[in-house]
Structure 1
Amino acid sequence: MRIIIPLLIILIIATPHINSMEKQHVFEKIDPYLATPASGHIYEIPVVIMRFLPTKDGINLDVNKVPDFWDLGEITIEELKNKIDVYDRRIKFMLEESTRFRGYKDPSAVPSIGYRVVEYITIYEQTPKGEVNSHLEDGTPLFSPDYHMIFDRFNIKHYINNLGVKEIWVWMGGVNSDFPCYDPTIHKPEDFRNWWESNMSSPITGDISNSNRDNDDLPIYDATYTVYGQNFRRSHAEAVHNHGHQLEAILSHVDHLQFGNSDLFWKKFVGQNDDGEFITGRAGWTHMPPNTTKHYDYTDTMKLVESDIEDWTPDNSGMKKLVNVDTYANLKYHWLNENTQDIPQFIESQWYIYWMQSMPGHKNGIMFEDREMTNWWIFTADWDKAISSKLGLVSKP
């Protein structure tokens, strides 16, 4: 009995500790790379990263709440954290590299933006259930994360108002009854989630983002910030894809403020005809490289099309070159010294960098009639300053 009783005591003490992981959070030590903006940057964006990783035992991800899509995708918390750590580094690299104006042919191009992660929080819970933001075809409601509850709990107001944080990257998962892996015996409707890829809160313009632009779904603080919803069942590529759509939202908005329409961005930069239909030969957008009008056609676009993407001008007078998937797939970005064969969705990721590097950036020298294009990255870096000063995609007369 002297041997058995101590063992029973240990089990009684240890079990509540493991179960309590479901309601714990940890302020992580920040990777030095994430905490250090790219050298030579012009603007800095402070970031808070949050990751919601529900667990029942402190060891495994709770796939009752956050399964994968085709199957449950059982994985340990440690394995998932390691994957997200790699994604975070790639995302930061891609976003900073993307702001080097035509950096694919100018190694001296400086990054317009450097990212600095100021806080990293891991929460071992599912995101709290917020308002209904959409429905499945059968009418089943899907819930947003309750950002008001989350941000109150972690005092995000302090990070925005006092530390100048402009972006919050939120890793999370969910389930709904359309998932092939859905099992009604273990997957509960209260865990059905849907979130926006990007979502802005702004005291000066309201929500300008790739969302339904509900001004009440995020707390409004003293400065503008953007929340990026990132699915940990996907990868860095989808996360940066989200930033691409946010660029489209804010740049077309600024275009409309300056000229009363969004033709400069969508028709002249991206490439659309007078009916708003996508055309080839200009710079493309998040879904389409310049040689295709098919959505998500990043890797099979072997067709060569003449495009001015590398010498873009609004009047289409720039030098044209034949482009296809090889144009961006073969570019030599340093990718944090990773073996690029180990990077999932590598060619797609290369497209995002190449496309963003083709946007007017620092000292771009691109003329629109008799005026120079501004550095479009100011709208990502400091929305409030840019909007308050009535800055446009084209410099003032």
Structure 2
Amino acid sequence: MKKLLGSVFIMMLMQSTQGYTKEIPPVFEKIDPYLATPAPGNLCEIPVVIMRFLPTIDGINLDVSKAPDFWELGGISLEELKARIDLFDKRIKFMLEEGTLFRGYKDTSAVPSIGYRVVEYITIYEQTPQGPVSDHLKDGSPLYSPNYHKIFERFNMEHYVNDLGVKEIWIWMGGVNSDFPCYDPEIHRPEDFRNWWESNMSSPLTGDISNSNRDNTDLPIYNSTYTVYGQNFRRSHAEAVHNHGHQLEAILSHVNHLQFGNTDLFWKKFVGQNKNGDFITGRAGWTHMPPNTTKHYDYTETMTPVESDIEDWTPDNSGIKKLVNVNTYGKLKYAWPDADPSQIPQRVESQWYIYWMQNMPGHKNGIHYENKDMTNWWLFTADWDKAISAGVGLVSKD
């Protein structure tokens, strides 16, 4: 009955606006000072463009026939949704910058390897334009990627990348498909079915090294490398930074393989895998797993402490061990931009991502491997082209 009433309401809304759907031109937003100001003392700056696609029929509410929630239609006003995204953006920037402070949770002298500066913020009151078919659902229906070529040509992303040095484009978007519990064929149309990669790189130097199918034709190639992060506005800051975590895994694995012909240093020694590639506890973990679990997405459930060298990680596992569980990162006092961090949804999960990133070899890490020094792994995020062209590896050359 609830679903039926929701469908009737949407049909009435669509009929009442048929023929005069309100068209709103894209808005180049005034950028919040926090987003426009990189973390002080940063070693490298990353210019960012943020885009958000918010389809609407009436100019007041989100069009849930194109971008519903998952379980229910989830009607929401544009103002409420924009305010929610504004908050997510600040948390994302904070998490990414804070994560580059090497062991910053205990070293107050640590400096951020990266500072983020948002140079443009564009709100588009439309669904993302339909791109190529990226997959098929169980019922055979096609899933479409956003048409990034069309989007980037429309908003001249070539200028932002080539002239302003933009290295990341964060795109908030929504979609629907017939697998959603809220799916209703009366209002949801196959042409609005969307699927996108969490991260997607365009590079004239290396090709696509990202958490995607690594199709080198789905993004325009400009003079330098940039990465697109697909962010679902029905989720949160936590999932957005989760996407960055997988991108770190993709690029660090690639660099590891370039240097040593395998990915053992990153996956086996840093993350924690046995000789068969099975995940083990006790090392530094990865985006899906803190050091005390081998269960995916287990950020809060497993309370059992496990001895780990995450806070004194060395490739040969000679660092000091400490008992680690959810309280290790969940109880850290990070300087969140929120007035009351205790009210942040998914705060503990989010603090795992920060803590994990802070334990990657960063600036002045002092970690050694076979009589060589570990490099600052954030160099690859900060400037992929420069690091790769210079032959920088996870370990110094001499």
Q: TM-score, normalised by structure 1?
A: 0.95
Residue 347 of structure 1 and its aligned partner are, at CA, apart by: 0.5
Q: How does 1:268-279 map to 2 (within 5 A)?
A: 268-279=269-280
1:354 corresponding residue in structure 2: 355
What is the rounded CA distance, in whole Å, between the counterparts of 2:134 and 2:268 in structure 1? 31
Letter in 2 for 1:28: E
Partner residue in 1 for 2:118: 117
CA distance in structure 2 between the partners assigned to 1:340 and 1:300 by the alignment: 20
Corresponding position of 1:306: 307
Q: Whole-Å Cα distance in 2 between the matches of residues 303 and 262 of structure 1?
A: 29
Q: How does 1:230-269 map to 2 (within 5 A)?
A: 230-269=231-270
1:139 CA drift (Å):
2.0
C-alpha distance after superposition, 1:358-379 (max 9, x if no partner): 0000000000011000000000
* Secondary structure at the counterpart of residue 164 of structure 2: coil
User: How much does 1:79 deviate?
Assistant: 0.4
Partner residue, 1:170: 171
Say whether the 8 Å CA contact 1:209–1:249 is kept in structure 2. yes
SS of corresponding position for 1:253:
helix
Question: What amino acid maps onto 2:395 in structure 1?
Answer: V
The Cα shift of 1:254 comes to: 0.1
Give the 5 Å matches for 1:1-397: 19-22=21-24, 24-397=25-398
Give, in angstroms, the shift of residue 300 of structure 1.
1.1
Report runs of 4+ in structure 1 exceeding 4 Å deviation.
15-18
1:138 CA drift (Å): 2.5
RMSD: 1.2
Match for 1:66: what amino acid? A
Instruction: Mark the CA change 1:323 to 1:18 in structure 2 (over 3 Å): closer, same or farther.
Output: farther
Secondary structure in 2 aligned to 1:283?
A: coil
1:80 is paired with a residue whose SS is helix
Q: Which residue identity does 1:184 align to in structure 2? A: P
Q: Once the two structures are superposed, what CA deviation does each residue of 1:130-185 show, in whole Å capped at 9, x if it has no partner?
A: 00111112222100000000000000000000000000000000000000000000
Q: How far off is 1:339 after superposition?
A: 1.0
Residue-by-residue CA offset, 1:8-60 (whole Å, 9 max, x unaligned)? xxxxxxx99983435x2000000000000000000000000000000011000
* 1:200 and 1:224 in contact (8 A); partners too: yes
Task: Give me the whole-angstrom Cα distance separating, in 2, the residues matched to 1:204 and 1:116.
Answer: 24
Aligned counterparts of 1:21 and 1:350: Cα–Cα separation in 2: 40
CA distance in 2, matches of 1:393, 1:92: 25
Tell me the alpha carbon deviations over residues 239-282 of structure 1, each in whole angstroms, 9 at most, x when there is no partner.
Answer: 00000000000000000000000000000000000000000000
Query: Matched residues in 2 for 1:142 and 1:368: separation?
Result: 45
Aligned mates of 1:315, 1:279 — CA distance in 2: 15
Q: CA deviation at 1:336?
A: 1.4
Residue 6 (structure 1) aligns with: none
336-345 vs 311-320, which moves further? 336-345
Q: Could you say what secondary structure the match of 2:317 adopts?
A: coil
- For residues 17 and 141 of structure 1, the distance between their equivalents in structure 2, rounded to whole angstroms, comes to 28
* TM, length-normalised to structure 2: 0.95
Question: What is the rounded CA distance, in whole Å, between the counterparts of 2:339 and 2:247 in structure 1?
Answer: 27
In structure 1, what is the Cα distance between the partners aligned to 2:135 and 2:338? Answer: 41
Question: 2:337, 2:302 → 1: CA distance?
Answer: 27
Please give the secondary structure, in 1, of the residue aligned with 2:51. Answer: strand
Question: Residue 199 of structure 1 aligns to which amino acid in structure 2?
Answer: N
CA distance in structure 1 between the partners assigned to 2:139 and 2:387 by the alignment:
43
Structure 2 residue matching 1:286: 3-state secondary structure: coil
One-letter identity of the residue aligned with 2:75: E
- Following TM superposition, by how much is the alpha carbon of 1:325 offset from its aligned partner in structure 2, in angstroms? 0.4
State the alpha-carbon separation in 2 of the partners of residues 296 and 229 from structure 1: 20
TM superposition shift of 1:77: 0.4
CA–CA distance in structure 1, aligned partners of residues 291 and 141 of structure 2: 38
Taking a change above 3 Å as real, the CA distance of residues 142 and 16 of structure 1, as seen in their structure-2 partners, is: closer
Q: Is the partner of 1:344 in helix, strand or coil?
A: coil
Q: Cα deviation per residue 1:278-315 (whole Å; 9 max; x = unaligned)?
A: 00000000000000000000011201100000000000
Match for 1:71: what amino acid? E
Deviations 1:328-366 (A, max 9, x none): 000010101431222110100010000000000000000
- 2:140, 2:357 → 1: CA distance? 38
Secondary structure in 2 matching 1:152: helix
- Other structure's SS at 2:23 match: helix
Note the C-alpha offset of 1:222.
0.2
Percent of aligned positions that are identical = 79
Q: Is the 8 A contact 1:18 1:58 kept in 2?
A: no
Structure 2: any 5+ residue segments left out of the alignment? 1-16
